[in-house]
Amino acid sequence: MSAIETLGFIGLGVMGEPMCANLARKSRLPVYATDLHRLPLQRLAAAGVTACGSAAEVAQQADVIFLSLPSGREVQEITDAVRTAPKRRAKTLVDCSTSPVALTREIAARCAADGLDYADAPVARTREAARSGTLSIMVGGTPEVFARIRPFLDGMGNEITHCGSVGCGQVVKILNNMVLFEIGSALAEALAIGRRSGVAEALLFDTLAKGSSDSFALRNHGMKAMLPRRFPEDAFGTDYALKDLSYALSLAREAGVDPAGAEVAGRRLEAASGRGYGRNYWPVLLKVVDPDEKG
C-alpha cells in the first residue's frame, strides 16, 4: 500500500464538520470535502479544507475518505459513487456514520470487489466532543486497515477501539446508543417522579451523580438538557435516535433477545416525534414521560 498523501471527508453535519476540521488541522495533509450544503465548506476553508462538488470528485483526490452521513441509505449511495468514480484515487473508505450491520458488511464486500478497503468507525459522545477531538470511535475492519487509519482517527477522538471485523464497530455503537436511550428514559422517569414528590430537580440529579446511578448520560443528557429543558434542533434529534434504536431492535431480533427496555424507550421517542419533536434533541422524550412538566 502506497503512502497516504491526501484525505477526504463526505458529510459535514453537526458531527462531520468539526471532525473534518480536526482531521485537517491535526493530519497536516490536504483534505478534500463535500456536502449538500455550502456553508460548512465555507467555514472549513479556514482549516485548509478544499471544497469539492461531489463524492466522485473527492474520490479522485483523496487516498482515504471518511463518511459522516445521516443513515445507511446515504452511506450506500455515497459508497457507490466513490466505488464507481472515474480515475478514482481512493483506496480506503471509512464510515463514521451509524449504519445497519448487515448493510455495512454488504457494502464492504462490494468495495472489496472493486479494490477498495472498508472500515466502519462510528462515533459516540456529544458534538462538543467532536469539536474538541475527544470522541469515542468504535472500529470494525481488518487489523491492517485499522493500523492504516488509526493515526487519523486519533485526530478526531481520544478513545479508539478496534472492535473486530467489519460491522463490529457498528454493533458496539448501536448497543451504546440503545443503552443511552434506555438510561435517558429512566432519567426522565426519575425527574418526573421526584418533581411530583416534592424534590427539587437540580438537587435530585446532583445527588444521583454522587451515588451509584451516576453516568455520562446523567451528567450530559440529564443535567445539560432535561434540567434546563434545552432541546435544540441542531443536535442529535429524536428521529435520528429512533433510526439508531431501530438498528438495535433488529439486532435483538436476530440474536433472539427480548429488548424490553429498548422498546419502552422506543415508544417514548416515537411519541415525542409524533408530537412534533422529531428534530429536537432526543432527551425531549421527557415531555412524553412528564407532560405536565414545566417549560
Active site annotation includes 26: no
Q: With contact defined as beta carbons under 8 Å apart, do 145 and 152 qualify?
A: no
Separation between Cα atoms, residue 40 and residue 30, nearest integer Å: 17
Nearest to 169 by CA among 189, 190, 194, 142: 142
Residue in the block written with cell 490536504: 30
Cβ partners under 8 Å of residue 198, min gap 6: none
Separation between Cα atoms, residue 278 and residue 65, nearest integer Å: 30
Separation between Cα atoms, residue 222 and residue 131, nearest integer Å: 21
Separation between Cα atoms, residue 159 and residue 173, nearest integer Å: 13
Question: Which residue type is seen at 193?
Answer: I
Cβ partners under 8 Å of residue 273, min gap 6: 238, 239, 242
65 strand-pairing partners: 8, 93
Among candidate residues 26, 87, 91, 173, the one labeled active-site is: 173
Cβ partners under 8 Å of residue 48, min gap 6: 24, 25, 30, 31
Cβ neighbour number for residue 214 with a 10 Å cutoff: 13
Burial code of 23-59, b = ≥16 C-beta within 10 A, e = fewer? bbeebebbbbbbbeeeebbeebeebebbbbeebbbbb
Q: Active-site positions?
A: 173
